[in-house]
Amino acid sequence: MGMVGGGLDAFIGAVHRRAAAFDNEIELVCGVFSQSPEKSKAAGHAFYLPEDRVYASFEEMIQREKELPEDVRMDFISIVTPNHMHFPPAKMALENGFHVICDKPMTLNLEEARELAEIVKKSGLVFGLTHNYTGYPMVKEARDMVRSGKLGAIRKVVVEYPQGWLSKFEEGNDYKQAIWRTDPTKSGAAGCMGDIGTHAENLAEYITGLKISELCADLTTFVPGRQLDDDGNVLLRFDNGAKGVLHASQISNGEENSLKIFVYGELGGLEWHQMEPNTLKFKSQEDQRIIRPKVNALSAAANAHVRVPAGHPEGFFEAFANIYRNFAFAVKAHMNGQQPDPLYDFPGVEDGVRGLAFIDTVITSSQSDEKWTKFIH
């Protein structure tokens, strides 16, 4: 793996490196970790990389790595930069024969996302997107329960992602994460909805297998001086006729990362909370039961992502690691001319396009006097 971004002061870069290293399937061999060559070199030194594999730019890294022998050079790049720097290195890497895994949202805007999807299709290479919540075993179990018909036809989906960390004007306090996430030139057209609303959208579509067809959105910027939305409420219509509610907020004072989803079908319902990830609740008018991750007690899809014995919590890093492990399996399969095992799934370029389309549709709806806006895709 070669990494773009993720220097010593970057939170998410460390998460990606740890997740990638979890299963000994991936080795970090090179990178450009900062726009500052000095900071990039310092990070490379801290990660025990040879000096000649630490680069000053992603362009230099891709070109130099391409010139190395096949058994030495990187096989893929991991992009962990702010959103505005996702598309350029992804495009160049794919066009030079390197697989790509990228943080979300996939690009700065929908136009870039559509172009990247075409590049991925043309290249035939593997592209992964780190919607990490899809990596939890109990999310896999929820998806399998829906697919196997245990809930019957899906009627309603409620998904919420409240946070409180931007309740104040943190971008005025030299807070790096707040500064770029609230800057439209770096984050894109949406703030809260782009950052965490896309996680909620992706989780709803992943578990149910349904697609959002229309929505009615109301975005708000509550904190004075902020350039992008920090709260949003969205009514959803799905392609099977189901209805839904999605809300995402970064001014919900006192909340941490309180992602939750409720799925209701004609035969029963499911409930999952990210902050208690080992618990999946199934409920109906006749029954309520708790489902916990136990190897060989769940579906094959969930079992493939359970890492520890029953009674031990599976958390954020394990879910992230499942995404990286599954991506590594797909890259290996590609190298060997084989088809990847669908049991080890991960979000891809189409999920990325839908994420950017969701952002555009929400913004269009929020600015419109019309009640319903068709999903732009």
How far apart CA 311 and CA 131 sit, in angstroms, is 25
How far apart CA 333 and CA 31 sit, in angstroms, is 24
Tokens 């007690």 -> residue: 297
Tokens 């136009």 -> residue: 111
- pLDDT value at 108 more than 80: yes
Residues 188, 192, 196, 197: is their CA dihedral positive or negative? negative
Q: Domains (ranges, CATH) in the chain?
A: 2-129 (3.40.50.720), 135-308+352-366 (3.30.360.10)
Residues 224, 225, 230, 236: is their CA dihedral positive or negative? positive
Give how far Cα 228 sits from Cα of 95, 174, 178, 275, Å: 33, 17, 11, 26
Q: How many CB atoms lie within 10 A of CB 333?
A: 15
Question: What's the CA dihedral at 330, 331, 335, 339 to 10 degrees?
Answer: 10
pLDDT of residue 377: 79
How far apart CA 218 and CA 39 sit, in angstroms, is 41
Instruction: Report, as an integer, the average pLDDT of 335-354.
Output: 97
**Residue by residue, what is the 3-state secondary structure of 205-248?**
HHHHCCCEEEEEEEEECCCCCCCCCCEEEEEEEECCCCEEEEEE
pLDDT of residue 101: 98
Angle between helices 87-95 and 58-66 (to 10 degrees): 10
How far apart CA 358 and CA 110 sit, in angstroms, is 9
Helix (H, G, I), strand (E, B) or coil at 366: helix
Instruction: Report, as an integer, the average pLDDT of 164-180.
Output: 94
Tokens 């009615």 -> residue: 216
pLDDT of residue 262: 98
pLDDT of residue 174: 86
Q: What's 97's DSSP letter? A: T
Q: In one letter, which amino acid is 56?
A: A
Instruction: Report, as an integer, the average pLDDT of 231-243.
Output: 98
Helix (H, G, I), strand (E, B) or coil at 194: helix
* pLDDT, mean over the chain: 96
Give how far Cα 183 sits from Cα of 13, 111, 177, 211, 319, Å: 20, 19, 10, 29, 29
pLDDT of residue 11: 87
Q: How many CB atoms lie within 10 A of CB 309?
A: 9
- pLDDT value at 296 more than 80: no
Query: How does strand 2-4 pair with strand 76-79?
Result: parallel
Query: How does strand 243-249 pair with strand 154-162?
Result: parallel
How far apart CA 83 and CA 190 sit, in angstroms, is 11
Instruction: Report, as an integer, the average pLDDT of 115-136.
Output: 98
The pLDDT confidence band at residue 99, using thresholds 50, 70 and 90, is very high
pLDDT of residue 312: 82
- pLDDT value at 297 more than 90: no
pLDDT of residue 313: 81
How far apart CA 127 and CA 352 sit, in angstroms, is 10
- pLDDT value at 295 more than 80: no
Instruction: Report, as an integer, the average pLDDT of 161-181.
Output: 95
Percent of the chain with pLDDT over 90: 94
pLDDT, one tens digit per residue, over 40-82 is 999 999 999 999 999 999 999 999 999 999 999 999 999 999 9
Tokens 């349904």 -> residue: 210
The pLDDT confidence band at residue 10, using thresholds 50, 70 and 90, is confident
pLDDT of residue 343: 95
pLDDT of residue 310: 80
How far apart CA 92 and CA 351 sit, in angstroms, is 20
**Of 128, 346, 159, nearest to 234 (Cα)?**
159
- pLDDT value at 350 more than 90: yes
Percent of the chain with pLDDT over 70: 100
The pLDDT confidence band at residue 36, using thresholds 50, 70 and 90, is very high
The pLDDT confidence band at residue 192, using thresholds 50, 70 and 90, is very high
pLDDT of residue 141: 97
The rounded Cα 66 to chain-centroid distance in angstroms is 28
Instruction: Report, as an integer, the average pLDDT of 108-114.
Output: 97
How far apart CA 31 and CA 33 sit, in angstroms, is 6
